[in-house]
Amino acid sequence: MIFLERLKRLWKIIDSKGLDIDAVFLPNTPDENFYYVTDLEGPFEGCFAMLQKNRAEIIVSELDYEGARKQGIKKPTVITKRSEKIGIIKRYARSGKIGVVADRLSYASGNRLRSNGLKLIDVSSCFEECRMIKDNNEVKRIKTAVGVSKKALDDSVSAITRESDLASRIEAFMRMNGCGIAFPTICAADKNSALPHYSTGFKKIKDMVLADFGARYRGYCADITRCVFKKRSAWFAQAESKVMKTYDKCVAIAENGGTGFEMQKSAQSILGKGFIHSIGHFLGRDVHENSLSNFKKAFEPGMVFTIEPGFYDVNRGGVRFENDFLVTKNGVREL
């Protein structure tokens, strides 16, 4: 089972770091780690998992009992009262030490656990390391999400009238082809394209639009960026040329065994002050898992990441180009 394979990998990392814990408490929200380990597809409400080296217990509300069973959890535990939750956690904590993903645990939840005599040990880095290498099941889902995403823009280009029109068409295509939305689609027209995290509005598209979007297939994300031009000014033509030169250079660095850090430095040397973000990020259940900009290790088979150089001028606009890549035993290849 995928569930047990991932649990085994996770605990191997926990042991390698010498973390002394009785179990891991893993709430389902706002934490994708719950869905990663269990391979459940939400949404679930008020659910959590208790993980140990060779076993796990999935705790659900009555609302989600049948949903969990239909997804392969044979005997999910049902709780009807909030007070039952602490009782279950304490049952696992024989020495009082519980692993938690600290950067995803709410302040209130942390206080509640501590007030019941539990010592919390952060296992965030263990999940990050475990999720860095995708298994075959994860890779297949990401490939599906990428495939649908790339077709979505081709299908929607004819709808170029306003930012919102294009975003709506892209998202509708992804939903009609069996996917959800990985993140709110960015469609930034003309000068709005200078804002990397622009919020799609109703501006009429005059000369160009930058579209940043991605499908989510069974929990796994794609992340694609393209610029579509009706008319290229001299500045946009020059910016696009710089971005594509940077993209090709960074792909070559990855293909030849280079690191994310090396790609970042190369992008900065070509694009200069017009480059204002990371060259890319790892990709999976979360759209942004870890940045490439300071990643100094060699890429390993199973890693999935983006390469996305961009060049921006607040008075003119911006150009960005982004694709998703998989590291295999035979090298790095575009998805």
Q: Of the candidates 131, 151, 182, which is a domain's last residue? A: 131
29 and 148: one domain? Answer: no
Which distant-in-sequence residues (6+ apart) come within 8 Å of 157 by Cβ?
Answer: 228
Asked if 314 and 300 touch (Cβ cutoff 8 Å), the reply is no
42 and 165: one domain? Answer: no
Q: Of the candidates 77, 111, 131, which is a domain's last residue? A: 131
Residue length, the chain? 335
Give the count of domains, the chain: 2
44 and 96: one domain? Answer: yes
**Cα 301 from Cα 321, distance rounded (Å):** 24
173 and 311: one domain? Answer: yes
Percent of the chain with pLDDT over 90: 76
**Cα 110 from Cα 215, distance rounded (Å):** 33
More confident: 194 or 158: 194
Asked if 274 and 169 touch (Cβ cutoff 8 Å), the reply is no
Asked if 275 and 311 touch (Cβ cutoff 8 Å), the reply is yes
240 and 257: one domain? Answer: yes
104 and 126: one domain? Answer: yes
The residue segments making up the domain with residue 62 are: 2-131
Q: Of the candidates 116, 131, 146, which is a domain's last residue? A: 131
190 and 293: one domain? Answer: yes
287-324 pLDDT per residue, tens: 999 999 999 999 999 999 999 999 999 999 999 999 99
Pick the closest to residue 78 from 105, 94, 49, 58 (CA basis): 58
Looking up residue 49, the CATH number of its domain turns out to be 3.40.350.10
Tokens 């295509």 label which residue? Answer: 173
Asked if 163 and 209 touch (Cβ cutoff 8 Å), the reply is yes
**Cα 290 from Cα 195, distance rounded (Å):** 21
183 and 61: one domain? Answer: no
178 and 214: one domain? Answer: yes
Pick the closest to residue 89 from 69, 107, 115 (CA basis): 115
153 and 292: one domain? Answer: yes
**Considering the entire predicted model, what is its pTM?**
0.93
203-239 pLDDT per residue, tens: 999 999 999 999 999 999 999 999 999 999 999 999 9
How many whole angstroms from its chain centre is CA 98? 26
Tokens 């598209």 label which residue? Answer: 205
Pick the closest to residue 175 from 223, 130, 215 (CA basis): 215
How many whole angstroms from its chain centre is CA 314? 28
189 and 297: one domain? Answer: yes
121 and 152: one domain? Answer: no
69-117 pLDDT per residue, tens: 888 888 888 888 878 888 999 999 999 999 999 988 889 888 999 999 9
